[in-house]
């Protein structure tokens, strides 16, 4: 009489759920994941638009893609082991805060490349990685010309009308206004080209303006 374990094994083999792995299959899958993750790494490094570039996060994308690939290989090769691995991975919790929402997209991009490479879908992994890279580069290049700046102006009451007129002409959006110690502070954001950013000289030329600063806003 066959045991329950042998019956289950024969049933799984008949369904084709057990894949006999070879060294060549494993190496090709991991190399494909590494290749795709390196493309993601260089796209992230070259076209990063944040304030502070984090090299550790870029390396994490590569490691995540390769690790996801061999997890996918393991899950695809053994159904019983995959059930236990899914249960083990479900208890993992990450508490690190992601400052830039775009970093989450890069992380999922690396995971997707690892999954498709581990599943043996090499053409799909390479083509999808190249397509996403081209799409992201197009968006980055097209948005590179105009940037968002935050302007903070401190001035006295008589200069209020002139300040607001200059900001309206530059199509700036006023975000907040405050008044303390007999002085006004106005905060606005504006999208403009950095080379034509002469708005500061116009603001500081107004009589009654004590200071005017402009900082590029990166979303952080």
Asked if residue 117 lies in contact with residue 125, where contact means CB atoms within 8 angstroms, the answer is yes
The tokens for 197 are 């950013």
82 and 40, same structural domain?
A: yes
**Does 21 score more than 70 pLDDT?**
no
Write the pLDDT tens digit of every residue in 104-146. Answer: 889 899 999 998 998 888 999 999 999 999 999 888 877 665 6
Task: Identify whether residues 94 and 71 lie together within a single domain.
Answer: yes
Element (H, E) at 191: strand 183-192
The pLDDT assigned to 94 comes to: 57
pLDDT of 195 higher than 60 = no
Tokens representing residue 87 in the block: 């249960």
Band of pLDDT at residue 15, cut at 50, 70 and 90? very low
State the pLDDT at residue 16: 47
CA distance 40 to 81: 30
> Of 111, 131, 206, which Cα lies nearest the Cα of 161?
206
Residue 101 contacts residue 108 (beta carbons within 8 Å): no
Of these ranges, 29-33, 84-88, 160-164, the one predicted with the greatest mean pLDDT is: 29-33
The confidence score (pLDDT) of residue 1 equals 47
- Is 169 found in the same domain as 114? no
Share of the chain above pLDDT 70, in %: 72
**Alpha carbon distances (Å) from 42 to 23, 54, 58, 72:** 28, 13, 8, 24
Question: Same domain for 151 and 128?
Answer: no
- My answer on whether 92 and 120 are in the same domain is yes
pLDDT at 76 over 60: yes
Task: Report how far residue 154's alpha carbon sits from residue 8's, in angstroms, rounded to the nearest whole number.
Answer: 76
Q: Are residues 136 and 152 in the same domain?
A: no
End residue of a domain, out of 142, 170, 202: 142
Number of domains in the chain: 2
Work out the pLDDT band at 66, boundaries 50, 70, 90: very high
Reduced to 3 states, what is the DSSP secondary structure of residue 127? Answer: helix
Whether residue 73 has pLDDT greater than 90 = no
What does pTM read for this prediction?
A: 0.63
What pLDDT shows up at residue 113? 93
Task: Flag whether pLDDT at 55 surpasses 90.
Answer: no
Confidence (pLDDT) at 131? 94
Q: Which helix (H) or strand (E) holds 172?
A: none
- Looking up residue 197, the CATH number of its domain turns out to be 3.30.70.260
Which residue in 167, 153, 149 sits closest to 219, CA to CA? 149
Which range has the worst mean pLDDT, 65-69, 74-78, 102-106, 127-131? 74-78
Question: What are 188's two structure tokens?
Answer: 């606005």
Domain termination residue (choose one: 142, 157, 176)? 142
Are residue 152 and residue 56 in the same domain, yes or no? no
Question: Are residues 104 and 210 located together in one domain of the fold?
Answer: no
Same domain, 136 and 153: no
Q: Which domain holds residue 49?
A: 4-142
Rg (CA), the chain: 27
**24 and 63 fall within a common domain:** yes
Q: Kindly state whether residues 102 and 159 are assigned to the same domain.
A: no
Q: Hey, is 147 helix, strand or coil?
A: strand
Residues 83-115 have pLDDT tens digits of 556 555 555 555 666 667 788 889 899 999 998
Q: Are 153 and 135 found together in one domain?
A: no
- Domain end, chosen from 112, 142, 172, is at 142
Instruction: Quote the CA–CA distance of 114 and 103 in Å, as a whole number.
Output: 17
pLDDT for 167: 83
């Amino acid at each position: 009489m066959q045991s329950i374990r042998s019956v289950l094994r024969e049933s799984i083999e008949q369904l084709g759920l057990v894949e006999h792995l070879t060294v060549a299959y494993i190496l090709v899958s991991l190399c494909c994941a590494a290749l795709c993750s390196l493309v993601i790494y260089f796209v992230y490094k070259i076209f990063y638009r944040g304030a502070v570039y984090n090299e550790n996060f870029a390396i994490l994308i590569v490691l995540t893609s390769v690790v996801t690939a061999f997890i996918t290989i393991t899950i695809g090769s053994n159904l019983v082991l995959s059930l236990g691995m899914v249960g083990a991975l479900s208890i993992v919790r990450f508490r690190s805060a992601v400052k830039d929402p775009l970093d989450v997209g890069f992380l999922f991009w690396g995971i997707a490349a690892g999954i498709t490479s581990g599943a043996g879908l090499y053409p799909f992994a390479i083509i999808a990685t190249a397509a996403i890279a081209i799409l992201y580069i197009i968006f980055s290049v097209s948005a590179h010309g105009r940037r968002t700046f935050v302007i903070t102006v401190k001035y006295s009451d008589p200069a209020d009308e002139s300040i607001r007129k200059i900001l309206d002409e530059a199509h700036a959006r006023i975000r907040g206004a405050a008044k303390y110690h007999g002085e006004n502070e106005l905060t606005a954001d504006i999208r403009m080209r950095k080379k034509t950013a002469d708005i500061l000289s116009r603001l500081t030329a107004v009589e009654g303006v004590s200071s005017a600063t402009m900082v590029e806003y990166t979303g952080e």
